[in-house]
Amino acid sequence: MSWLKQLTGTWQKNQLQRPELASMFTKPAANEWVAIDCEMTGLNPKKHHLLSVAAIHINDNTIDTGNGMHVVCKPPVMPDRDTIVIHGLRTADVEHGMSYDEMLALLLPFIDNRPIVGFCTQLDIGFLNPVVKRYMGTALPNKVIDVRQLYSKRMGDRTQGIPNQSQRLANILAHYGIPELDAHDAYNDAIMTAMAFLHLRSRG
């Protein structure tokens, strides 16, 4: 499998259209990650859009909240009034937001070559990769760690018969006694995801 990953990485690097991002394809330092969370207008990347992205560095056992980033984006279609209760962002909040290119010019150097930590990462990466590919010619090359899958693996059979136990971040936080911050905020969600990851990692 390692040769396949190496071949895929080489192919991706050859597709790169922004040489200033070449360091994303280098080997990451040990014990460094970046926690990411996104807010979207819906759950389907083919018809819904990114609204905000937050990212926070994790260095060893420290979450660098003082140097995180949280960007509100202006989507091509304004969020539906009925979905505001889900993502908490109104038209007034996003109409003066950054373009996706402006957001990626900040986000991608911040991510660099760090493994990406998230909750239900398939969804966030599914929204990020199309705009990333248009911006730099290829999808994100980073390793991706899903806290939901990590927790489910750690718990094993104890989540059987409790379908939501390994699918809700709130349940994981409660299991480890981690305080829950205000919901529907990408930055808070990134912090909580980072805290959950560190608890799971410490229990190895």
Domain total in the chain: 1
Which 3 state secondary structure label does DSSP give 52?
strand
Mean pLDDT of 62-90: 79
Q: Are strands 116-118 and 32-40 parallel, antiparallel or unpaired?
A: parallel
Report the CATH number that the domain containing residue 137 is assigned in CATH.
3.30.420.10
Distance CA 62, CA 74 (A): 32
Could you give phi then psi for residue 57, rounded to 5 degrees? -75, 140
Which position has the higher pLDDT, 167 or 132?
132
Task: Give the Cα separation of 199 and 109 in Å (integer).
Answer: 27
Among 29-43, 73-87, 91-105, 132-146, the range scoring the smallest mean pLDDT is: 73-87
Is 111's pLDDT higher than 80? yes
20, part of any domain: no
In a domain, 24, yes or no: no
41 pLDDT above the threshold of 90: no
Average pLDDT over residues 92-111: 92
In a domain, 163, yes or no: yes
Contact (CB, 8 A) for 149 and 117: no
**Domain of residue 145, residue span:** 2-9+29-202
- Residue 64 placed within a domain: yes
